[in-house]
Amino acid sequence: MQMHLAIDEDSWPPDQPKDFIPVFVIHHQGQHTLQQETALQLAGSIQTGRFHSKLFQEDLHQSLREVLDNSKTTKQLVDILAPLQENDNAQFILVEGLPGIGKSLLLQEVAYNWAKGKVLQKFKLVLLIQLRSPAVQQVSLVADLFQLVCEGDIDATENATACCNYLFKNKGKDAVFLFDGFDEFPEHLQKDSLITSILKRQVLPHCGLVVTSRPHASARLRQQATIRVDILGFAEEERKLYIEQSLKEQPHAVKELTEYLEGNLTINGLCFIPFNMVILIYLYKQGIPLPSNSTQLYNYFICLTICRHLAKSGHALDNTITNLAKLPKPCNTIIQQLSKLSLDGLNNHKLIFTLEEMRVTCPGIETTKGALNGFGLLQAVQHFGLAGKTMTFNFVHFSIQEFLAAYHITQLPPYEEQRVLEAKFWNDPHFNMFAMYISLTKGQRSAFKKFIRQKQLSPLHAIKQFFSRDIVISNDILNDNLKSLQLFRCFYEANDEVFYTSIQKGDTFNHKEINLSLTSLTIYDIECVTLFLTSSPHKEWMMLSLFNCHIQDHGFRVLHHGLMRSDITIRELNLSYNDLTRLSSSFISDFIVHCRVEVLEISGNHTIVEDPALYGMLSHPSSRLLRLDMRLSSLSSSSAVILFTALAKGNKLQYLHITYNPIADEACDVIATSLQNNTSLVKLLMLNISAEAAQCLVQALQCNNTLQELGLPLYTENVKKSITLLQEEVIKNREIRGCQTKLVIYC
């Protein structure tokens, strides 16, 4: 099949729908008073999730919602910047998101709209600073930083000095710094530099701050930020709108692309990132067959981009090239060199390359037409430093660098290929690259076969396996849940049904349990879990344990996004001791109901229990939740009110563990009322309440027929005797009513 590339001025970048920004979720930190939360309960809000929840759609009264809704969804720039605009105190907005999801674009929009007089008009100065810039990384004085921004102005030094003096007088109150790419800022500078001093409020302490970063690099900033913005990319409705606007007047194309995404879990998951959606629509418009996996998606995109640049440079192409090995000279030489640069960069955690590094790795890059920007694959950035101009390069998308690195491995001699596999295969930063590598080679490289079996074969068996499709996977790998899941995704990407189904049906998951406890998981690992579960022939799972896996909000949303589209039952889900915040609350609530979870453990996630949206799962008619463990989760009195109000309505939960939480006596009236009305709870463990409050709770059990165990704090002997007398009274009343009489109270 021959495919001809349509070349015109508008073919790349593709046409973009106007006035469209992907969905953002904003986290406003802060607590409500018990009275405010109680008022919300009286309004019935516990039955209602926030408006981004699919399960709960009732509208709240606007004034109540303003009190309740500490996290909200928005597409409006003014909403995102509202904390800066409306607060007199200095604000620090941390913007997190995956590569290609729109973080840098957001800051560019902020700077542009400020210059146009549309946002942040109370600030006299808004500075957009690219932290990847070598010049920025070298500055040690605020005056030098201002001079970089003023570079090109005739009076640069004078203006920089004037700005610096003005801001130091009011400690930066009239300025906002937009720091783009904290994850691209060198590790040693993240600890000690001028930028770090500004972020820590040691310099210009009253300035406004907006900082973008990939989640893996921003942990140290989360405690400093007053507001966190999580860029989610496309939600379902936004993606549908984007497709419709991109394929105007082509309803058949919209239908075809929508059905394709619904039927392809891998590509569907990728396309919540706007950049990947742009690529997919570009391929579709060019008539390229729709890809079946991410490797094909990036391969087609890279080849199309190179072909377009070759055609614009005057190269005669008979048809569109879809294989990097078939590129004409000298283009193929440059791409081979860039592929080596990609792998070297990944091995050394480098995303940014200097002009000198480009010259060393790619000697002909400056003399080959179109090569300096990698035939469209590289972005060149000009930096104006104190010592003169410099230039850096980065790939237009991180996945492009990963693909080229994977391609380079396939070109290595077997012994070098084997060395790379052994040194890097299980390293988190390299996993996506190796998934592409296996997809490119169909898992049939001799070096990969040797690596995966992890033991020597006799010469005869080695020759036999080389010419066979058989891959012998060592038991050390198969007995490791995470490694098995990672290999599964690799074979799934390679469309090798024989091997990925053998992992699905293997002994490792025979008990229908996935246990990744105490394993540090990346976003790619979460994708592996999601893909495995959604494509598994098993629809009922006994347990999914993600205990202490360092999962962040975005990681759980990847799991939520995949499993909410499937018919999976997970009886026991353990999310304890992760980095989940209240941003994940409504997603967890949806997940528990949809996946028919019976046991949920969320201990040690210190703000997740503070969101009312979480407790919708207790009163939802389809909920099957029987056990809930929320130890050490900073459950406050106000949130305990919400929890027990929902519990009174739900009447399904049997076991509740809320010890080691700061619940004060002020919540105990509501807890007592809930226990009077509850007909399901069998065991309740709680601490931190006074003797008087404890006696109030036990007294409330006079009307309760089901509770059998109650855990309370240690009290004096007199208090214990009093509680024992109340306990005996409850048991006698149950005998009279003909109910079960077991009631054990631990003090």
Instruction: Tell whether 113 is covered by a domain.
Output: yes
Most confident of 176-190, 228-242, 497-511: 176-190
Instruction: Tell whether 258 is covered by a domain.
Output: yes
Please report the pLDDT score of residue 383 as a whole number.
Answer: 62
Both 339 and 432 in one domain: the answer is no
Last residue in a domain, options 377, 401, 425:
401
Which three-class secondary structure string do you get for 199-229? HCCCCCCCCEEEEEECHHHCHHHHCCCCEEE
How many domains are contained in the chain? 3
Both 429 and 291 in one domain: the answer is no
Which residues, 6+ apart, have CB-to-CB distance to 188 below 8 Å?
none
Instruction: Identify the domain containing residue 445 by its residue range.
Output: 412-510
Report pLDDT digits (tens) over 592-632: 999 999 999 999 886 788 888 899 899 899 999 999 999 98
Please report the pLDDT score of residue 420 as a whole number.
Answer: 92
Report pLDDT digits (tens) over 561-581: 889 888 999 999 999 999 888
Instruction: Tell whether 567 is covered by a domain.
Output: no
Please report the pLDDT score of residue 55 as a whole number.
Answer: 28
Q: How far apart are CA 433 and CA 519, in angstroms?
A: 20
Q: How confident is the model at residue 64 (pLDDT cuts 50, 70, 90)?
A: very low
Both 78 and 227 in one domain: the answer is yes
Report pLDDT digits (tens) over 24-62: 555 444 433 444 333 333 333 222 222 222 222 233 333
Relative to beta strand 353-354, strand 388-395 is: antiparallel
Q: State the chain's mean pLDDT as an integer.
A: 81
Residues in the chain: 747
Q: Is the pLDDT of residue 416 over 90?
A: yes
Instruction: Tell whether 677 is covered by a domain.
Output: no
Both 93 and 214 in one domain: the answer is yes
Both 297 and 317 in one domain: the answer is yes
Instruction: Tell whether 598 is covered by a domain.
Output: no
Instruction: Tell whether 125 is covered by a domain.
Output: yes
Last residue in a domain, options 510, 533, 548:
510
Instruction: Give yes or no for a contact between 351 and 375, defined as CB atoms under 8 angstroms apart.
Output: no
CATH of the domain at 153: 3.40.50.300
Please report the pLDDT score of residue 388 as a whole number.
Answer: 59
Q: Is the pLDDT of residue 5 over 60?
A: no
> 10 Å Cβ neighbour count for 718?
9
Instruction: Tell whether 4 is covered by a domain.
Output: no
Both 499 and 456 in one domain: the answer is yes
Q: What percent of the chain stands above pLDDT 70?
A: 85
> 10 Å Cβ neighbour count for 34?
18
Q: Kindly list the distances between the CA atom of residue 701 and the CA atoms of 109, 110, 555, 730, in Å, as whole numbers in the listed order.
A: 59, 57, 41, 6
Last residue in a domain, options 371, 401, 431:
401
Please report the pLDDT score of residue 24 as a whole number.
Answer: 54
Average pLDDT on 4-21 reads: 50
Q: Is the pLDDT of residue 639 over 50?
A: yes
Tokens of 264: 């392809």
Instruction: Tell whether 297 is covered by a domain.
Output: yes
The CA-based angle 258-259-263, given to 5 degrees, is 120
Both 229 and 248 in one domain: the answer is no
**Cα atoms in the 13 Å half-sphere on the side-chain side of 568:** 29
Both 175 and 136 in one domain: the answer is yes
Both 146 and 79 in one domain: the answer is yes
Both 390 and 453 in one domain: the answer is no
ω into 13 cis (within 30 of 0): yes
Report field, pTM of the whole predicted structure over 0.85: no
Q: How far apart are CA 418 and CA 440, in angstroms?
A: 16
Relative to beta strand 92-96, strand 23-28 is: unpaired
Q: How confident is the model at residue 466 (pLDDT cuts 50, 70, 90)?
A: very low
Both 90 and 223 in one domain: the answer is yes
Report pLDDT digits (tens) over 667-676: 888 888 888 8
Both 461 and 331 in one domain: the answer is no
